[in-house]
Amino acid sequence: MKSRLLANTMRVLALQMVTRAKASHIGSALSIMDMVAVLYAEILSVDPGNPHWSDRDRFILSKGHACVAVYAALAAQGFFPLPELEYYGQDFSDLMNHISHKVPGVEFSTGSLGHGLPFAVGKALAAKRQGKRWRVCVVLSDGEMDEGSNWEALLFAAHHRLDNLLVLIDYNKLQSLTTVAQTLALEPLADKLRAFGGAVVEVDGHDHAALRAQCKTLPWQTGKPSVLLAHTVKGKGVSFMENQVIWHYRNPSEEQLTQALAELAAERESWGAACGALS
């Protein structure tokens, strides 16, 4: 329940951020909320009071356009005060519309796709060679798997037996203009990832129990990078945004925000949980 409360909070905060900033990519952010919430609530060893703690697990968001998910998680976990989220997307703000390493708790700035995994692999290699026990987690989009650099990085990670690396692929099957299948077909994606040397597990990317269970048993195979192929829904959690490519671009109106927040409030009420501070 801890991670589900966090995910609900993150959705609320993210919707408020993109509405206020008239920003895009809310669909992409909603898609990864559950994964990111499980990681920050229950998996990652991090210290909000000391973001540079040397033995922390490293989290990298390669699909940097979904940054509001991570900004919300970091603020909710105490890396920086919640009111600072109001600066998201404002002039000269560190809370840029693609994830920024100037924000406490963010390891790496991305925005151009295909950069996060090679960087994460470099960190994982450094950890191995220095005998460190911390892990590296990196979240990629499915459309991002079009980038050759990711496949180069997978080859490299397998060759160097980087089993301290967890790659989470947000497989929502929608990319910028249309479906993944109609853009550049990835299937059979799991087989391809296995062929490239990954230990691959497929899960429902919104099933917290399944995500938690898998992430608590890393690595899945000694000597292999773990690749979580997470089947997700773009826009997950807001009925009128789910599976709609338009929410890669459109920012919600005030009316749409109200409706979305009502749906999220209803979700919380359905748990009977007290989350009054969230909205």
Residues that bind other proteins (CB under 8 A): 101, 107-112, 114-115, 117-127, 129-130, 148-149, 152-153, 155-156, 159
Q: How far is the CB of 151 from other proteins (least distance, A)?
A: 9
Q: How far apart are CA 39 and CA 101, in angstroms?
A: 19
Do 10 and 33 contact (CB within 8 A), yes or no?
yes
Q: How far is the CB of 126 from other proteins (least distance, A)?
A: 4
Distances (CA, A) of 272 to 5, 102, 195: 11, 37, 45
Nearer to other proteins, 88 or 119 (CB): 119
Q: How far is the CB of 199 from other proteins (least distance, A)?
A: 20
Nearer to other proteins, 153 or 257 (CB): 153
Q: How far is the CB of 108 from other proteins (least distance, A)?
A: 7
Nearer to other proteins, 80 or 108 (CB): 108
Q: How far is the CB of 117 from other proteins (least distance, A)?
A: 8
Q: How far is the CB of 2 from other proteins (least distance, A)?
A: 30
Nearer to other proteins, 130 or 239 (CB): 130
Q: How far apart are CA 190 and CA 272, in angstroms?
A: 38
Nearer to other proteins, 148 or 272 (CB): 148
Nearer to other proteins, 196 or 247 (CB): 196
